[in-house]
Amino acid sequence: AATSPGIVKALPDEWFTVRGTNAETKFASLAGTGYHTPADHFFVRNHTATPVLDAADWTLTVHGDGLTHATPVEFTLEDLKKFPAVTRSAFVECAGNGRSFFTSQQGQTVTGTAWTLGAIGTARWRGARLADVLRRAGLSRDAVDVLPRGLDPDYVTADGTDLGRVRRPLPVSKALDDVLLAYEMNGEPLPYDHGFPVRVLVPNWIGIASVKWVGDIEVSTQPLYSPWNTDFYRLFGTAHPEGGSAPLTRQTVKSAWELPWDASLAAGAVHRLTGRSWSGAGAVVRVDVSTDGGARWRRARLHDAPRRAGWVRWSTDWRPSAPGGYTLLARATDSAGRTQPDTTVPNTQGYLFDAVVRHPVRAV
Ligand code: MTE
Ligand code: MO
């Protein structure tokens, strides 16, 4: 099995590709695993390293001028569990998922972890509503931003700059909408790598919003900033506003085949090929597939009802008539009318790749 210095759980080679302190799920390993990604297959994205925390010592401190009083409020895990528990099915997907295709398909140079498509997982998250906790803490009407911060070590960049602990502002409007303080994943306590004992879970938004190992939340009447909404997780480059786009929020639409890259398939036999498509802007309602590099398209069979904040599994039957190389394509459309384009407008840090991915296979 592979190992990463930043990750606690086992990373079998059949399930993961390790990229530094990150581990990408191999889509082929999801075939037949069901709708939700098993926690042991779930990708890990760590800026630094997984802290192994003791739930009995853990507290969440809510503080800042966005409370109606000056005293910070502390919650233990037991306190959180006394709030009404909510279960939500939602994906967590890194903003950089698909980044390597900016280079391999579009010939562009971008910075960051060279993910293929496996920096996503879908799970059933259970926890307290952030809205309930903020209101109990004394949320002021004038609050505009909250800033959850992780208990993992400080993030030190390659050039040696200490950016402090991982933290990213979230507008109060989203915080009060559908955000959870999650303490369970797929019916079990969160695994260490996914935020034990408590993580923020922000449905549909880029993964960095879902701060793991949360230890405190600042509530502010003024807009808040951290490197994670100023220097990173915005679109920079010639196609974007000078100084960068607004901080990124919702994920985009994507599709992946549950097949290895360059998979070998028997020529002349019928294969049931499977995959998954998802979007942060609406439920996926349609998936078109091509097995000949885009010359002809047909609809894939969808195996799940369209679901917001989740993915749909799909399949298509294909019989490669002759040996040789083939290119598989899948193009999803969501309920907001967004369809995967042929190319993604580039940005220097390689976020939000949404173009149709050209997946090579071989008939033998
Ligand atoms: N929270 C903390 N405290 N530290 C981190 O490094 N990484 C973020 C987010 N939350 C991170 C974090 C990023 S970039 C992503 S994509 C998701 O967690 C990944 O969640 P996962 O590791 O559970 O898959
Ligand atoms: Mo991420």
Structure tokens at 146: 């909250």
223, with CB counted inside 10 A (0-12, 13-18, 19+), is exposed
Hey, which bits of 134-221 come out as E strands?
145-150, 170-171, 180-185, 188-189, 199-201, 214-220
Could you tell me which of 193, 171, 217, 184 has the C-alpha nearest to residue 88? 184
Mutation to probe ligand 1, out of 208, 213, 216, 248 (largest number of atoms < 8 A from CB): 208
CA 152 to centroid of ligand 1, rounded, Å: 10
CA 61 to centroid of ligand 2, rounded, Å: 24
Give the helix/strand (H/E) hosting 88: strand 85-93
Strand 263-265 to strand 359-363: parallel, antiparallel, or no bridges (unpaired)?
parallel
What pLDDT does residue 2 have? 84
**Residue 333, number of CB atoms within 10 A of its CB:** 18
Coil, helix or strand for 31? coil
Q: Which residues of the chain have pLDDT under 50?
A: none
Are residues 355 and 314 in contact, defined by beta-carbon separation less than 8 angstroms?
no
**Ligand 1 pocket check for 42: Cβ under 6 Å:** yes
**Residue 101, number of CB atoms within 10 A of its CB:** 24
Rounded CA separation 39/132 (Å): 27
Rounded CA separation 359/101 (Å): 11
**Ligand 1 pocket check for 75: Cβ under 6 Å:** no
What pLDDT does residue 1 have? 76
- Domain residue limits, the chain: 254-363
Rounded CA separation 39/344 (Å): 31
Angle at 25 between CA 22 and CA 31, to 5 degrees: 175
CA 101 to centroid of ligand 1, rounded, Å: 22
Atom of ligand 1 nearest to the CA of 194: 23
Are residues 5 and 49 in contact, defined by beta-carbon separation less than 8 angstroms?
yes
Angle at 202 between CA 97 and CA 170, to 5 degrees: 100
Place of tokens 């926690």: 39
Are residues 139 and 219 in contact, defined by beta-carbon separation less than 8 angstroms?
yes
Coil, helix or strand for 347? coil
CATH class belonging to 254-363: mainly beta
CA 122 to centroid of ligand 2, rounded, Å: 14
DSSP assignment of 252-286 equals: --EEEESS-TTEEE-TTS-EEEEEEEE-SSS-EEE
Rounded CA separation 250/346 (Å): 17
**Ligand 1 pocket check for 236: Cβ under 6 Å:** no
Which ligand is closest to the CA of 47, given by its number?
1
CA 173 to centroid of ligand 2, rounded, Å: 22
Could you tell me which of 171, 209, 227 has the C-alpha nearest to residue 349? 227
The DSSP output letter for 339 is: B
**Ligand 1 pocket check for 47: Cβ under 6 Å:** yes
What pLDDT does residue 98 have? 98
